[in-house]
C-alpha cells in the first residue's frame, strides 16, 4: 500500500471522503442495452385477459456490464469498456449511450454472429400513479463467443490493462465471460498488480474466477456456487456464523483476498483471507424504502471497486458499497448514483451516530452533508452558537426559539480551549463532549459541531478563532440566531449568512438566567430556585 493509501486507511470516514480521487477502471463482461417502453395501462385487451400498453415514450439505457461502467463513472472513474456487441441497430445505440457519459468504448467489439443483448421493459402508468414494470422481453444469445472474437477481445483488454487502477468482471452468463477469458484477464491483471473484482454469474463454478481479488455474489449466487444454503433469519449472530461457512468455502475455492456476500436486507458479510483475527464481519444495511432492486448489485460492485481504488480498508469499502446500493434501490429503474449522494449518505449516518447519545459532536464535514441534504429537500436550516457550559432554562428557551424558526437546528459549540480563552482557567465546568451530549439529547437540536480548536481553527486569526465565522461560512445556514444581548451589527457571521440569501434573527433572553450566575450560586451554596 502506498504511503498516501496508509493515511487514507487510517483516517475517519469524513477524511477519506474528502480525499476521494479519480481513478481508472477497466470493465469486462456482458454489455446489455435496456429499453424502457413507457405508456398508459388503463384497459384490458378485448381478445385476451392482458393489459394494453399505450406507448408514450421510449428510452435506451446501458445495462449489465454497461451499467457498471455508468456506476463507476458516476463515482468519479475514467472507464474503459471491453466486451462484445452485435453488428445490428442496437450496438451503436449502446456505444452512443456509454459515450454520452464519457465511457471509452473502443474495447467493445462487433460480432455479426450474435445480437446485441437487449432487455425490453414494458412499463405501465395506471391512473396517474407511479410507473410499474409489466413485462420484459429479452433478445440475446447465451452461446459462448467464437474463438476469433475471444482472441480479439483478449488483445483489446491487454492493450488497455496498463491504464487501469482496478478491473471489474461483470458476468451475466451471456457468453462473453468464458472460463478461458476470465482466467486470461485475471492472470494479466495479477502480473501487473491490478486488483480484479468479480460480480459472478448465477450457477457458475467459482473456479472460473480463481485468483481474482474479490467476488460479490448475492444470496442465490452464493448458495449455488457453494452448494450450501445461507441463513435467512434476522438473527445477526446466526447470519454471521452460518454465512461465514459459505463465504469460507468460496474464499478457499477462489483463492481470493476477500469474499463479500450481499444478503439483501441483512446487509453484506465480508470475509478477508489475511485479516487477523480471521473472522466474518456482518455489515448491516440501512433501512430504506425499497422501490426497485434493479441495478443494486451493479452499484455495489462499482462502489466496492471505487473505494478500494481509493485505498480504503475492506470494511469501510463494503460500507461505501452498501450505501451506494442502498440508494440505488430507492429509485425506479437502473440509475447510477453519483459519488456526492453516497458521500452525503455516509456523512449523515456518521452525524446520526455522533449525536445518538454517544457523547461526541459531529465533524464539520458531517454537518455540511446534513445541511446540504436538508436544503436540497427544501428544509430551512437554523444555526446558533455558544459555550453552553452549565445548561439552564435560558439556554433551552433560546434553543427552542431558534429551532422554531426553521426545520433543522445546528448548534456551534465552543471547544474547551476556546471556552478557557473566553471565560478563564476555571471554565468550562463540563468537558466539550459532555456538553455536546447534553445538547444532542434535546429534541429541538439537530446537530452539534465544535469550533475554536483542532482542525477547524487552523489558520484562523486570533480575532476569529473563538468565533464561529469559519463554521458559518462552511455551513451557510438559512437563519442565524443570537440572543437579545446582541444586535444585528454585533452578530458574528451575519454578513456571510445574508450574502448567501439567509437572515439574522435576534430572540429575547430569559431574564436573570446565565451560566456565570448559576455557577456563582452553586459555589456560594445559595438556592438556584427562581
Give me the DSSP letters along 83-128: EEEESSSHHHHHHHHHHHTT-EEEEEEEETTSPPEEEEEEEEE-TT
**For residue 264, what is the DSSP state?**
G
Q: Which of 171, 298, 453, 466 is catalytic?
A: 298
Task: Give the residue from 467, 461, 511, 451 showing the smallest Cα distance to 485.
Answer: 511
Using one digit for the tens of pLDDT, what is the confidence trace for 244-258?
A: 899 999 999 999 999
pTM listed for this prediction = 0.73
| 373 touches 461 (CB < 8 A) | no
Check residue 299 and give its pLDDT: 95
Using one digit for the tens of pLDDT, what is the confidence trace for 436-490?
A: 989 988 889 988 999 988 655 555 666 678 899 999 999 999 999 999 889 999 9
Helices marked H in 285-337: 296-309, 314-328
Grid cell for residue 264: 439483501
**All domains of the chain, ordered by start, with CATH?**
197-338 (3.40.1190.20), 364-524 (3.40.50.620)
Spans in the chain with pLDDT lower than 70? 1-12, 126-129, 286-294, 331-333, 351-360, 454-463, 512-530
**Active-site residue 298, yes or no?**
yes
Amino acid at each position: 500500500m502506498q504511503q498516501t493509501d496508509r493515511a487514507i486507511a487510517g483516517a475517519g470516514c469524513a477524511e477519506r471522503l474528502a480525499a476521494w480521487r479519480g481513478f481508472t477502471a477497466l470493465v469486462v463482461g456482458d454489455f446489455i442495452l435496456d429499453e424502457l417502453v413507457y405508456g398508459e395501462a388503463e384497459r384490458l385487451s378485448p381478445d385476451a385477459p392482458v393489459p394494453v400498453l399505450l406507448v408514450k415514450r421510449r428510452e435506451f439505457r446501458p445495462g449489465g456490464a454497461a451499467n457498471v461502467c455508468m456506476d463507476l463513472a458516476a463515482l468519479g472513474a475514467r472507464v474503459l469498456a471491453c466486451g462484445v456487441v452485435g453488428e445490428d441497430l442496437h450496438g451503436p445505440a449502446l456505444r452512443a449511450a456509454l459515450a454520452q457519459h464519457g465511457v471509452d468504448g473502443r474495447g467493445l467489439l462487433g460480432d455479426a454472429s450474435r445480437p446485441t443483448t437487449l432487455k425490453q421493459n414494458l412499463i405501465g402508468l395506471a391512473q396517474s400513479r407511479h410507473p410499474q414494470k409489466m413485462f420484459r422481453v429479452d433478445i440475446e444469445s447465451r452461446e459462448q463467443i467464437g474463438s476469433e472474437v475471444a482472441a480479439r477481445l483478449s488483445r483489446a483488454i491487454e492493450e488497455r490493462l496498463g491504464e487501469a487502477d482496478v478491473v471489474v468482471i461483470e458476468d451475466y452468463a451471456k457468453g462473453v465471460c468464458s472460463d478461458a477469458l476470465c482466467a486470461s484477464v485475471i492472470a494479466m491483471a495479477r502480473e501487473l498488480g491490478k486488483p480484479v473484482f468479480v460480480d459472478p454469474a448465477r450457477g457458475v463454478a467459482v473456479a472460473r474466477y480463481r485468483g481474482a481479488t474479490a467476488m460479490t455474489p448475492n444470496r442465490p449466487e452464493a448458495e449455488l456456487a457453494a452448494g450450501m444454503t445461507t441463513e435467512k433469519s434476522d438473527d445477526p449472530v446466526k447470519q454471521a456464523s452460518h454465512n461465514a461457512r459459505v463465504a469460507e468455502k468460496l474464499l478457499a475455492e477462489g483463492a481470493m483476498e476477500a469474499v463479500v456476500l450481499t444478503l439483501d436486507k441483512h446487509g453484506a458479510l465480508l470475509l478477508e483471507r489475511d485479516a487477523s483475527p480471521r473472522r466474518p464481519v456482518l455489515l448491516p444495511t440501512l433501512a430504506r424504502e425499497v422501490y426497485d432492486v434493479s441495478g443494486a448489485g451493479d452499484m455495489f460492485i462499482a462502489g466496492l471497486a471505487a473505494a478500494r481504488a481509493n485505498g480504503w480498508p475492506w470494511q469501510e469499502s463494503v460500507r461505501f458499497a452498501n450505501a451506494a446500493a442502498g440508494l440505488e434501490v430507492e429509485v425506479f429503474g437502473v440509475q447510477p448514483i453519483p459519488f456526492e449522494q453516497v458521500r452525503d449518505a455516509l456523512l449523515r449516518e456518521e452525524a446520526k451516530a455522533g449525536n445518538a447519545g454517544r457523547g461526541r459532536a459531529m465533524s464539520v464535514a458531517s454537518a455540511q452533508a446534513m445541511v446540504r441534504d436538508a436544503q436540497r429537500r427544501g428544509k430551512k436550516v437554523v444555526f446558533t452558537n455558544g459555550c453552553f457550559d452549565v445548561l439552564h432554562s435560558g439556554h433551552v428557551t433560546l434553543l427552542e426559539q431558534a429551532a422554531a424558526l426553521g426545520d433543522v437546528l445546528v448548534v456551534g459549540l465552543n471547544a474547551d480551549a476556546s471556552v478557557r480563552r473566553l471565560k478563564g482557567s476555571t471554565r468550562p465546568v463540563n468537558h466539550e463532549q459532555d456538553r455536546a451530549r447534553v445538547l444532542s439529547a434535546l429534541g429541538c437540536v439537530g446537530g452539534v459541531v465544535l469550533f475554536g480548536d483542532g482542525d477547524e481553527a487552523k489558520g484562523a486569526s486570533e480575532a476569529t478563532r473563538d468565533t464561529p465565522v469559519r463554521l458559518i461560512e462552511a455551513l451557510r445556514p438559512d437563519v442565524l440566531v443570537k440572543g437579545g444581548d446582541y444586535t444585528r451589527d454585533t452578530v458574528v457571521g451575519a454578513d456571510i449568512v445574508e450574502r448567501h440569501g439567509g437572515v439574522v434573527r435576534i430572540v429575547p433572553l430569559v431574564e436573570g438566567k446565565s451560566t456565570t450566575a448559576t455557577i456563582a450560586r452553586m459555589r456560594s451554596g445559595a438556592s438556584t430556585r427562581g
